[in-house]
Amino acid sequence: MNPEVLLSRIRVVLCRPSHPGNIGAAARAMKTMGLSRLYMVAPKQFPDPEADTRATGAVDLLAQATVTNTLKEALAGTSFAVALSARQRDLGPELGAPRETVARLLAEAEDGEVALVFGNETVGLSNEEILNCQAAVTIPTNPDFSSLNLGAAVQVLCYECRMTAFAAKPPVIAPGVTPFASPAATHDEVEGLYGHLEAVMTHTGFFNPEQPGRLLPKLRRLFGRIRLERDEVNILRGILASTQVRTGHGRKP
C-alpha cells in the first residue's frame, strides 16, 4: 500500500494532556512525519493559543483533531492500539521495542485503522487505559531518566512509522494472519465481548461485582495478547449466548 495512505490510518491519541503546548508539539511532530489524525481524550485546555503557537505550521491538524471524553470513543473503529509507557505495568501487555512494534502496527494498518496511545504528562497512562491496547512500547532511554516530554515521545514514534512505511521492504505480516483469517476485530467488537462475558460470569456467579478482584483486567490482558479476529469474537459470543439460552438469562448486547 502507498506509504502515505498507510500513515494516514494511524491515529495519535493523547490521553488527558495537561499542557496545551504539548498538544501543539505533538501536532507538529506528526505533520513532519506525514501523520495527520490527532485525537485527544479529555484535554485539560484545548483549543488554546499556546497549542497553536507550538504547532506552528501544523495548526491544520489541531483544527481537524477529534476530542472525546473516553479512550474507548477515541479507539472506536480501530483494530490495533499500542500504548506508550515508560514503565512496565502489573497487568499491561509486555513492553516491546518501538521498531518491532511499529512494523506490526503498519502491517495492521494495511487492513484498517490503528492507534498510538500516549499518557498524561504527570501520571502517564492509567492501567485501565493500557488494558484497552493490544501492545505496549517503551522508548529505550537512560534507565536513570526515562521519561520523555510528551511531544518528544510522539516525535520518536512518528519517525519510526515514517521510516518503516517508506522502507523498501514490505511490512511484516501480522502474526497469525492466514488466508482463511477473518478481519481483525475492532475495538468496539472486543468491548462487546468483554461486556457479554462479564454479564454471563455475573449471572453464573463466577464473577462477583461486589468483589471484582483482578478477574476482569486479567481477562483483558489474556485477550489483549492475541489479535482476535471478528469470526473468533462471534464464536465466543455465540458460546456465551448458548449458555444464556440454557440458563434463561437475558442476553446483554
Cell readout for 225 is 495478547
Among the listed residues 67, 91, 148, 241, the single contact to ligand SAH using CB under 6 A: 148
HSE value, Cβ hemisphere, 13 Å, CA-based, for 190: 28
Using CB atoms within 10 Å of the CB of residue 246, give its burial: 0 to 12 exposed, 13 to 18 middle, 19+ buried: exposed
Residue 243 beta carbon to ligand SAH: minimum distance, rounded to whole angstroms: 39
Residue 253: strand, helix, or coil? coil
Restricting to residues 125-144, which ones interact with ligand SAH according to CB under 6 A? 125, 138-139, 141
x-or-dash pattern for ligand SAH, window 51-90, by CB under 6 A? ---------------------------------xxxx---
CA distances from 125 to 109, 142, 182 (A): 23, 20, 31
Cα–Cα distances in angstroms (integers) from residue 13 to residues 70, 203, 230, in the given order: 11, 35, 24
Among the residue ranges 148-156, 173-181, 208-216, 243-251, the one whose residues contact ligand SAH (CB under 6 A): 148-156
Q: Which of 105, 185 has the CB closer to ligand SAH? A: 105
119 binds ligand SAH (CB under 6 A): yes
3-state secondary structure of 20: helix
Q: Quick check: 118 binds ligand SAH (CB under 6 A)?
A: yes
241 binds ligand SAH per the rule CB under 6 A:
no
> Of the two residues 96 and 192, which places its CB atom closer to ligand SAH in the complex?
96
